[in-house]
């Protein structure tokens, strides 16, 4: 059976398939590189992808952030996101900005979870401003609850943002790979439009570009597996 399978596939064909897999993987890698290079294009790069998810969450704490980071607080947070600062540090800056900007007035303007009473929070912040000796256990409990909720909500916002960034970056890379494959196919057809507009031309190029991004991270493993299969089939003849 192994010999019959080898006859159908052929060692040379498997080696060609392995080489084709490596080439497709290289196309995907090139597409990722082009997308990454777009970070240098102001207003067009992928750096800001995902940030709207963070901004939507941080708008809930606008009153406090305006008092600690100023009216342009969104630009402060976006600058860190665009420059790829470590996520934990970005979250820390966001939470610290909220806590620093809290006073009895801004506390009542926050869009908080219903589990926190705004009057109790305002009282706790007012007591803290007068001195630690004025802070009761009830005040401490409210402030601790606030920080825990902020941590969970902002963590979730950053997770959503990172997922959006990854997914959209892959879509951009896939579009680039398809475009590169179509251009290469058109060039290989000598610019002959009629030959290009066939399944063997544009159709195959489109499929190659579509596969390039998901294949890129595992291209070497697939090619290695095909080579191992070819050797195993040869031994089974």
Residues 91 and 120 in one domain: yes
SS3 72: coil
Q: Where are the alpha helices (DSSP H) in 101-218?
A: 104-109, 118-130, 137-188, 193-196, 204-215
Residues 61 and 148 in one domain: yes
Is the Cβ–Cβ distance between 212 and 25 less than 8 Å?
Answer: yes
Residues 161 and 173 in one domain: no
Burial label for 55, CB within 10 Å (0-12, 13-18, 19+), is middle
Residues 152 and 141 in one domain: yes
Q: Is the pLDDT of residue 141 over 70?
A: yes
Is the Cβ–Cβ distance between 87 and 53 less than 8 Å?
Answer: no
Domain boundary among 138, 167, 196: 167
Residues 56 and 39 in one domain: no
Q: What is the pLDDT of residues 33-65, one digit of tens each?
A: 888 877 766 655 688 889 999 999 999 999 999
Residues 158 and 67 in one domain: yes
- Token output for 130: 């007068």
| pTM of structure | 0.75
- Token output for 51: 């940030």
Residues 57 and 157 in one domain: yes
Model confidence at 15, pLDDT cuts 50, 70, 90, reads: low
Residues 175 and 161 in one domain: no
User: Percentage of the chain with pLDDT > 70?
Assistant: 81
Residues 130 and 198 in one domain: no
Is the Cβ–Cβ distance between 60 and 53 less than 8 Å?
Answer: no
pLDDT on residue 158: 95
User: Percentage of the chain with pLDDT > 90?
Assistant: 26
DSSP state of 45: S
Neighbours of 152 (CB within 10 A): 11
Q: What is the pLDDT of residues 198-208, one digit of tens each?
A: 877 788 888 88
End-to-end CA distance of the chain: 9
What is the arithmetic mean of pLDDT over 217-229?
Answer: 65
Q: What's the rounded Cα separation, in Å, for the pair 144 and 149?
A: 9
User: In which region does residue 110 sit, left (phi positive, over 0), alpha (psi from -120 to 50) or beta (all else)?
Assistant: beta
Residues 73 and 115 in one domain: yes
Q: What is the pLDDT of residues 65-97, one digit of tens each?
A: 999 999 999 999 998 998 888 999 999 999 999
- Counting the structural domains of the chain, the total is 2
Q: What share of the chain is helix, strand, coil (3-state, %, to 5)?
A: 85, 0, 15
Domain boundary among 167, 189, 220: 167
Q: What is the domain range of residue 21?
A: 2-45+168-235
Q: What's the rounded Cα separation, in Å, for the pair 52 and 74?
A: 10
Which of residues 17 and 76 earns the better pLDDT score? 76
Is the Cβ–Cβ distance between 118 and 112 less than 8 Å?
Answer: yes
């Amino acid at each position: 059976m192994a010999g019959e399978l080898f006859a159908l596939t052929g060692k040379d064909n498997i080696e060609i398939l392995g080489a084709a897999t490596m080439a497709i993987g290289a196309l995907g890698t090139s597409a990722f590189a082009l997308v990454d290079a777009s970070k240098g294009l102001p207003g067009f790069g992928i750096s800001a992808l995902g940030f709207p998810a963070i901004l939507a969450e941080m708008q809930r704490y606008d009153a406090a952030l305006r008092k600690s980071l100023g009216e342009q607080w969104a630009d402060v947070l976006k600058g860190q996101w665009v420059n790829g600062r470590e996520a934990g540090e970005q979250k820390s800056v966001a939470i610290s900005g909220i806590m620093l900007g809290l006073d009895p007035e801004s506390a009542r303007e926050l869009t908080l979870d219903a589990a926190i009473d705004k009057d109790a929070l305002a009282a706790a912040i007012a007591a803290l401003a007068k001195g630690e000796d004025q802070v009761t256990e009830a005040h401490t409990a409210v402030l601790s609850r606030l920080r825990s909720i902020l941590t969970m909500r902002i963590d979730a916002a950053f997770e959503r943002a990172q997922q959006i960034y990854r997914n959209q970056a892959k879509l951009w890379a896939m579009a680039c790979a398809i475009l590169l494959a179509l251009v290469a196919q058109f060039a290989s057809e000598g610019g002959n439009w009629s030959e290009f507009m066939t399944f063997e031309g544009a159709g195959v190029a489109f499929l190659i570009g579509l596969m390039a991004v998901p294949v890129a991270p595992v291209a070497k493993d697939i090619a290695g597996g095909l080579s191992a299969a070819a050797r195993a089939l040869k031994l089974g003849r």
